[in-house]
Amino acid sequence: MNQSLGHIFSTIMIFVLILSGCTSNGTYEAENYPIEPEILGSGNVNWTETQTPDGWTMVTNEGGSTLGYSKSSGLNLIQANGYAFKDLNRNNLLDQFEDWRVDPETRATAMASEFTIEQMMGMKMNPFGFYTVSEDTLDGNMKNALELNYRQLRAPGENVDARTKVSWNNMVQAYIEGLEDITAIPAVWMDDPRSGDVSNWPGNLGLAATFNPEIGAEYARLTSEEWRAMGISMQVATQMDLATEPRWWRIPGTFGEDPALSMDMVSAIINGWQSTYDQDGNDLGWGDHSVNNQMKHWPGDGPGEGGRESHTRDGAYNVYPGGQFWTHTLPFAAAMDLPGKTESITAAMTSYSINLEANGSPIGGERVGSSYSEYIINNVLRGMYDWDGYILTDFGVMNTEGGRLPSSNFGVEDLTQTESMLGVLEAGADAFGEIGEAFQGDIDQGVKAYELGVAKLGQEAMDEIMKKSTERILRTHFNIGIVDNPYLSLEKAESVPDNEEHNERGYQAMLKSIVMLKNSDDIIHEASVEDEKPRVYIPRVYVAASGGFSRTPASAEPGFDLEIAGQYYDVLTDEVTETFTGPPDEDGNPTLHPDDIIRAPRSEIADCDFSIVKINNPQNGNPTFLGYGGVSRDGEKYTYRPISLQYRPYTANSEFVRQESISGDMIEVTENGEEKLVKENRSYFGETAIITNERHLDLVLNTESIAEKVIVAVDMSNPMVFHEFESEVDAIVVGFGGSVSDEAFLEIITGQVEPSGLLPLQMPANMETVEAQLEDVPRDMEPHVDSNGNAYDFAFGLNWSGVINDNRTEKYNVPPIIGNSPN
């Protein structure tokens, strides 16, 4: 083509693009909205309509968005430029937010302008499950919530079958379409990380133990496809706190304590969750398999003083004695700078905690929880990191009586619910965790908060806060495409989740997550086809009754499922008495007592080739997230206790224990007739920890005293002190957070698969080094050194040949990186 013809061709193409409403970079730019539609079905029609087996209507636009709607709802289609669009506000015009050719950000901004203050408040409500799921009806609570514009809803539970999930979702979306006074924005189903009706993968800490971010990316890619098949498009996760404090209860949800490994896992996993991929693995950006994620708990909830958990008032403070506040923001920074086409994580959840410097002064000058801190949200996250995503407060920060969680409104206990709502909006958050079950009452409180904001900040400023926060929420609806098609297919819901292919990939990841720490005399070695089945003793393990969210009775099951273990071994195990002798339960029936276990005869144990004992790391019984017991200090003295990582009794009286805590509430006292505020001392110096499973150590040592050889399998949720039993046993393998199946453990132990996992956490030499480490500093403990001379340090693991040294250890087993302010 010569130059003049090329110029003419370029001019024609620009003219065509202008006429079609598209720019040369593929984005759509219409003239002015709203647009008068064409007669439906007239002219050059670029869409077709079909009725699905699930009762909704699918509209296919040639080269464009696929729409879904219910013909019986009253919602109609409109046509422009030969394409079909949904008339979401029933005005028979094509509005900008209805135009699927327009980018999600612009559509969200346009739709937010449609909402009243009451409807914007409805978008901010995030109650827990308040409804009853049925295959053919919506209950009054759900209808009430939808009419109030609640659109971020908890997904039906794992016990709800696929048919009911699909029917339920489609009923909800059709009901929304039939609401005449509300613009039809579909509901988003949101959930915590779940198991049971999705394929089985290691938890976050297990994924980190693979030291392979691509495994994390695969997990996210496949699981997001399953979630979307069930209609879930918002995850109240991913947890990306740095686990720098080894006693913290929520370590299993993290990617360990190292910033570099955590950043790489976060980047790969969030990219996998948010992007949709074609069959060749190409990143298509937002699409049918995309799930919005909430990075949590901003700005990092790992450095709780003494390891205390912030779901209880005794764990209200994060402390930074090592000055590493910015290091804890690094995984979040990775989530905000993704390598794929979605570019940045879209949502966040704040932590409960008040953040303190080493001297006890609040970071940013505000002695309030992160949800209320303008410094933490507006200044740092939205300002320094230039991030404008949707922020949901953690649940319970504004709780009144009767909440699911104890109130965690740290530092703002005197605020009313109305003042609390305004407080989090002013700080920069967009929605209220666990608020909304009062329905109109909570909306009224929200409107009062708005009016209070108008009086305080002025109408223009408060309107901007409301509109901007609503836009951020709406982006998470538009970017995944559910505004155009919120309906589900029963065929997908029954075939995609928990499928064989995905489970096999998850199982392979599980095998790679197991860490072999000790292997004396190569007791664990590559299996041979000539090997006969060894005779193996697998003792029953007593587990005490637990409280909290999911109360479970005491149990004493064999450490491994006997049917699975029987595939590899000739198994000897223990029995239990027919009649239990433990304390009566709530129905008056005796419960299981440890003495109700009848151990196998010593002679038979001694005759076994070896024993395999499966245990948990030490479990603390002092007030924690699970129990809530003792957290109220009203009218009685409260005793702060240490959290221990060893089984045997631990009293915190070494020189490394703080006798004056960094954290503490400001308490009003009277001295010399004058009232003043002093900081409460939360030191646990001289106190003794409460461990509920010391019997696990007894089981290991008693078995070792009888058996020829002993292999210990540890289901680990926290670092632990290994010196109590390590030198007495022959081999140790570790899985993380309850996410490793019996079959995976046994495939490693029997030598069917070579172990390849590495420690994502340090294992401390003793409790003194735990006390000496600083809560906010990664990898600052003296590690345990075993009887074979190996240090149980970060990135340590064994395979059949010995200590693993490969490209993973070369990359990550280097001094930890330190974060600096993004400014």
Q: 215-229: per-residue pLDDT in tens?
A: 999 999 999 999 999
What whole-number distance in Å separates Cα of residue 138 and Cα of residue 156?
Answer: 13
What's the CA angle centered on 382, arms 377 and 385, to 5 degrees? Answer: 115
Comparing CA positions, the residue from 300, 350, 307, 353 lying closest to residue 324 is 300
290 close to 241: Cβ distance less than 8 angstroms: no
Q: For residue 343, is it left (φ>0), alpha (ψ between -120 and 50) or beta?
A: left
Q: Is the pLDDT of residue 13 over 60?
A: no
| Banded pLDDT at 2 (limits 50, 70, 90) | very low
- Is the bond into 299 cis (omega within 30 degrees of 0)? yes
- Is the bond into 34 cis (omega within 30 degrees of 0)? yes
**Residue whose entry in the numeric block shows the structure tokens 């276990």:** 597
**Residue whose entry in the numeric block shows the structure tokens 């209880």:** 312
Q: What is the DSSP string of 48-107?
A: EEEE-TTS-EEEEETTSPEEEE-GGGT--EEEETTEEEE-TTSSSSB-GGG-TTS-HHHH
| Average pLDDT of span 40-58 | 97
Question: How, if at all, do strands 47-51 and 57-61 pair?
Answer: antiparallel
633 close to 640: Cβ distance less than 8 angstroms: no
Which tokens hold the place of 606?
């001694």
pLDDT of residue 4: 41
Q: Is the pLDDT of residue 504 over 60?
A: yes
805 close to 812: Cβ distance less than 8 angstroms: no
What's the CA angle centered on 273, arms 327 and 129, to 5 degrees? Answer: 95
3-state secondary structure 276-308: CECCCCCECCCCCCCCEEEEEEECCCCCEHHHC
| Banded pLDDT at 399 (limits 50, 70, 90) | low
pLDDT of residue 637: 64
pLDDT of residue 634: 46
What is the residue-averaged pLDDT of the chain? Answer: 92
Burial environment of residue 553 by CB neighbours within 10 A (0 to 12, 13 to 18, 19 or more):
middle
- For residues 42-52, one letter each, b for 16 or more C-beta atoms within 10 angstroms of the residue's C-beta and e for the rest, the string is eeeeebeeeee
- In terms of pLDDT, which residue wins out, 167 or 586? 167
Distance of CA 137 to the CA centre of its chain: 31
pLDDT of residue 626: 40
What residue spans define the domains of the chain? 3-109, 514-622+692-812
Output the furthest CA–CA distance in the chain (Å, rounded): 98
pLDDT of residue 26: 44
| Banded pLDDT at 5 (limits 50, 70, 90) | very low
What whole-number distance in Å separates Cα of residue 38 and Cα of residue 32?
Answer: 15
Q: Is the pLDDT of residue 624 over 70?
A: no
375-384, 585-594, 606-615, 769-778: lowest mean pLDDT where? 585-594
pLDDT of residue 628: 40
Q: Is the pLDDT of residue 91 over 50?
A: yes
645 close to 764: Cβ distance less than 8 angstroms: yes
Which tokens hold the place of 792?
């149980």
pLDDT of residue 159: 87
Q: Is the pLDDT of residue 631 over 50?
A: no
Q: Is the pLDDT of residue 464 over 70?
A: yes
Q: What residues contact 588, with CB distance under 8 A and at least 6 apart? A: none
**Residue whose entry in the numeric block shows the structure tokens 């957290």:** 631
pLDDT of residue 132: 93
- In terms of pLDDT, which residue wins out, 4 or 714? 714
Selecting from 3.30.70.100, 1.10.1840.10, 3.40.50.1700, 3.10.20.600, what CATH number does the domain 514-622+692-812 have? Answer: 3.40.50.1700
| Banded pLDDT at 635 (limits 50, 70, 90) | very low
The predicted-structure confidence for 318-374, as pLDDT tens digits, reads as follows 999 999 999 999 999 999 999 999 999 999 999 999 999 999 999 999 999 999 999
| Average pLDDT of span 415-427 | 95
The percentage of residues in the chain with a pLDDT greater than 90, rounded to a whole number, is 86
Residue length of the chain:
823
pLDDT of residue 625: 43
608 close to 622: Cβ distance less than 8 angstroms: no
| Banded pLDDT at 548 (limits 50, 70, 90) | low
Beta bridge pairs of residue 153: 189
Helix (H, G, I), strand (E, B) or coil at 75: coil
Q: Is the pLDDT of residue 802 over 70?
A: yes
pLDDT of residue 714: 98
> For helices 417-427 and 440-457, what crossing angle results, to 10°?
60
